[in-house]
Structure 1
Amino acid sequence: MKFDLVVIGGGAAGFFGAIQAAEQKPGLKILILEKTTKLLTKVKVSGGGRCNVTHDCINPFELARHYPRGEKALKNLFKSFHAGNTVAWFEGKGVSLKVEDDGRMFPDTDSSQTIIDCFMREVQRHKIRIEMEAAVLSLRKEEEEFLITTDTETYHAAKVLIATGGSPNAGAYQWIADTGHAVLKPIPSLFTFNEAEKNFSDLMGIAVPNAEVKITGTKFSQQGPLLITHWGLSGPAVIKLSAWAAEYLHGIHYTFQVLVSWIGAVKEADFMAGLQEHKAQKGKQKIVTNPLFGLPQRLWERLCSLAEIDAQKIWADLPQKNMNKLMEFLIRCPFQIKGKTTFKEEFVTCGGVDVKTIDLDTMQSKTIKNLFFAGEVLNIDGETGGFNFQAAWTTAYVAAKTIATS
């Protein structure tokens, strides 16, 4: 049961690290340990089952800006392996990727199984062994060898790559903490907002293409598509906001207020001037039945109702106080948020192994030689859109390169 490399974790980073190590140094005896009965579970569910492999952004500095935690660390890492390298690697294995309008990249097949099959073929080709239902209980180093103990076996390894992914359970990191590495408390990132009063729940399914969502009393703000759901607010603007504000929102127990501008970021004075001009030019037009700014009819009706505008009212007869109210609900529509909902089936953590304990040129532990880390087990997480997978591919690649060349 002796191996050149034992990879702990059968997810994206674990598989990619094992395969990269085997590619860069053929003949390595490699083992992947997975604690559950399933492999590559996040790959399976990502992107609604289509697998959002990466994001169409190859500039390392631009790419790194999409990570609330890990931006500084990733700037240099992406110089070694960025989204363009990811695309090239998969295409080299016969898996072509496509770019969607928002920059997300998926396999041409629109199926995560394509990615899973690719990984399984490579694992078989390199004779990488996989043991499932093998939860690690302890990891210790004796002289130049690691001993990895599960509830059924003890494995020996020259090198170890920890790629266990994120977990909401702090206890899942205990055996890592026991090795002397600092672990920051895992908390949720990437989630949707639950509206306390459900004032808009009957409009579930309505979306706007470019809203601005701000958390009251903070500088946290994001723009992008916004979706009204039966529980509250979702869509890229909200999901991105949840990532950047993850620590703050956890600290206030997910009870807060957001202000929504349904038409994106605007200057109030300019916006009011535009409304006044529309009133002057379209004075005989009914307000409620003629939505402005490309807003969906039902949403426009709701905003007019909140502004106390009668269904038969025309622009010429609209009092200034109602005009002011309409502006408020268009650019500062308040939502009382109480609680969150996990985004689809994807749980992403803010927290994990502190990157300060890792040599970011090699992904090797600063304190234990030949112990490496990759993926979401680290305190690195990105916005939604393929960024978390890219961090997994990149950190796994750099770790594998070091493993193969040392």
Structure 2
Amino acid sequence: MVQNEITIAGGGLAGAVAAITAAGHAPGTAVTWLVAESEPLEELSRTGSDQRLITRLCDDPSELLPCFPRGGNDVLPEFYAFGPQQTLEWCQRHALEGLTRENGTLRLAEEAPPLAAQLTALARRVGVNIRTEEKLVAVEAKPQGGFWITVTNERTVQCQRLILAGDPLNTPQAARAAESLGHTVERPVPSLFNFLIDDPLFKNMRAERVKNVLLSLPALGLDTSGPLELHPWGLAGEAVLALSSRAARELVQPQGQALRINWCGPLKVSRLLEERVRLHPRQRLVSEPVAELPDPVWAHLLTASGLDPDRYWGQLKKPELRKLKESLELTELHLTRKKLASPERAICGGVERGEIDFETMASLRSPGLYLAGDIVDVDGFAGGPHRQWHWTSGHAAGLAVCDRTRH
């Protein structure tokens, strides 16, 4: 039996940050990082993943809140404690090579070693014992405190404190371990995806963007608002991501699901139409879209309303305005399929947030247990926001296992 003081199970970014932080703040402590894959941080090397992205930069962490459709209010205070600015300082303090700012993100320069390689080397440098190809099999709490951990080949590891940081989809053993230690685990399913739709609206469609729509799934009683992107294959954008997060389980099989769009979002449509008639009576309909809608969308709505695009606004009768109002407020489409919005997969599900102290990422069910990253039921948009959650939760857990307060 191998005995460690601190064990981290999970080979992703949250696990790496937790292991490095714990070893750095508790020199001489035996810190072991269990990685199921052949190399640590394989998720950062996945095809299509941004291998050099560190996080999204912002002046105020509250700017990240809209990027977390699930768990945003829980994680926001922790972003103030350790957010993008603190992540930058952490990287500088640990001398990561090639740090650069680009388009609102913190990333590594092309000529610098990839993030996965740098963090793995850093973990070894601070004394982390990295055990690759060691999958978590089972965890049992010891009566006197601490844990027995069974890994690949029935090897047993004993530790005083444990951080679970595994992806519950790729490594369901992490979720089962949390359940065995008293936690409620929501069944994990992929989240944050785009909607593929076969409809005349998208015929010959270029990539277009609408500033603010109201999007709803009437059968599920769910709606959200925000920017919407239109593509030849269907819909994307913040509104779609937020709705797909809330409906991730119900949309495991999305085919045929009705989706409704109010193209004007929170704006009062009748007032917008009245203003067009009053202010632009001699303008053709086609040249004066409502709510700055893209030309292809506006043309489609005029056709759906039975209106000639070359008519003048001042010529429209009340029944015609009523029909146009109905089209603007309710366009119904039907989902064909879905596709993940990014290779950096987000997950709906994991350990219930109410069972975790987010300040320390400590379990409220099992003393000595901490949770970080994707195993927690938090959804963040792919890219910078998702990675920041891994930095923040991994750092909080890594400090807490050392009984250190954050600074």
TM over 0.5: same fold? yes
**Which residue of 90, 96, 101 corresponds with 1:98?**
101
Correspondence 1:202 to 2:200:
no
Once the two structures are TM-superposed, the CA of residue 45 in structure 1 deviates from its matched residue by 5.2
Correspondence 1:223 to 2:226:
yes
What's the counterpart of residue 133 of structure 1?
133
Cα distance in 1 between the residues matched to 2:65 and 2:280: 45
Correspondence 1:77 to 2:78:
yes
Q: % of aligned pairs identical? A: 23
Gaps of 5+ in 1: none
Cα distance in 2 between the residues matched to 1:166 and 1:48: 19
Once the two structures are TM-superposed, the CA of residue 385 in structure 1 deviates from its matched residue by 5.7
- In the TM superposition, what whole-angstrom CA distance separates every residue of 1:38-80 from its partner, at most 9, and x where no partner exists? 5324434598526654344465666556534334432443343
- RMSD of aligned C-alpha atoms? 3.5
Task: Give the 3 Å change call, closer, same or farther, for CA 254–109 of structure 1 in structure 2.
Answer: farther
Q: What secondary structure is seen at the aligned counterpart in 2 of 1:346?
A: coil
What's the counterpart of residue 123 of structure 1?
123
What's the counterpart of residue 378 of structure 1?
376
Q: What secondary structure is seen at the aligned counterpart in 2 of 1:395?
A: helix
The answer to whether the 8 A contact 1:168-1:188 is kept is no
After TM superposition, the structure 1 = structure 2 runs for residues 45-60 of structure 1, keeping only pairs within 5 Å, are 49=50, 53-57=54-58, 59=60
Task: Give the 3 Å change call, closer, same or farther, for CA 87–234 of structure 1 in structure 2.
Answer: same
**Which residue of 172, 178, 181 corresponds with 1:179?**
181
Amino acid at match of 1:188: P
Amino acid at match of 1:387: P
Amino acid at match of 2:403: T
Q: What secondary structure is seen at the aligned counterpart in 1 of 2:15?
A: helix
Q: What secondary structure is seen at the aligned counterpart in 2 of 1:122?
A: helix
Cα distance in 2 between the residues matched to 1:111 and 1:67: 32
The answer to whether the 8 A contact 2:277-2:313 is kept is no
Cα distance in 1 between the residues matched to 2:222 and 2:177: 37
Amino acid at match of 2:122: E
Amino acid at match of 2:396: V
What's the counterpart of residue 4 of structure 1?
5
Cα distance in 1 between the residues matched to 2:370 and 2:118: 24
What's the counterpart of residue 155 of structure 1?
157
Q: What secondary structure is seen at the aligned counterpart in 2 of 1:238?
A: helix
Correspondence 1:343 to 2:341:
yes
The answer to whether the 8 A contact 2:228-2:239 is kept is yes
Task: Give the 3 Å change call, closer, same or farther, for CA 293–364 of structure 1 in structure 2.
Answer: closer
- In the TM superposition, what whole-angstrom CA distance separates every residue of 1:138-182 from its partner, at most 9, and x where no partner exists? 112444553321222322333221100242786762233223322
The answer to whether the 8 A contact 2:202-2:230 is kept is no
Correspondence 1:191 to 2:193:
yes
Cα distance in 2 between the residues matched to 1:11 and 1:111: 23
Task: Give the 3 Å change call, closer, same or farther, for CA 80–198 of structure 1 in structure 2.
Answer: same
The answer to whether the 8 A contact 1:166-1:348 is kept is no
Amino acid at match of 1:343: A
Q: What secondary structure is seen at the aligned counterpart in 1 of 2:109?
A: coil
Question: TM-score, with normalisation over the residues of structure 2?
Answer: 0.82
Cα distance in 1 between the residues matched to 2:18 and 2:371: 10
What's the counterpart of residue 305 of structure 1?
303
The answer to whether the 8 A contact 1:190-1:243 is kept is yes
Amino acid at match of 1:39: P
The answer to whether the 8 A contact 1:107-1:114 is kept is no
Cα distance in 2 between the residues matched to 1:185 and 1:48: 25
Task: Give the 3 Å change call, closer, same or farther, for CA 73–320 of structure 1 in structure 2.
Answer: closer
Once the two structures are TM-superposed, the CA of residue 392 in structure 1 deviates from its matched residue by 1.8
Cα distance in 2 between the residues matched to 1:18 and 1:188: 26
Amino acid at match of 1:360: F
Correspondence 1:356 to 2:357:
no
Q: What secondary structure is seen at the aligned counterpart in 1 of 2:200?
A: coil
Question: TM-score, with normalisation over the residues of structure 1?
Answer: 0.82
What's the counterpart of residue 271 of structure 1?
272
Correspondence 1:27 to 2:59:
no
What's the counterpart of residue 87 of structure 1?
88
Task: Give the 3 Å change call, closer, same or farther, for CA 266–3 of structure 1 in structure 2.
Answer: same
Amino acid at match of 1:118: Q
Once the two structures are TM-superposed, the CA of residue 15 in structure 1 deviates from its matched residue by 0.5
Cα distance in 1 between the residues matched to 2:112 and 2:204: 31
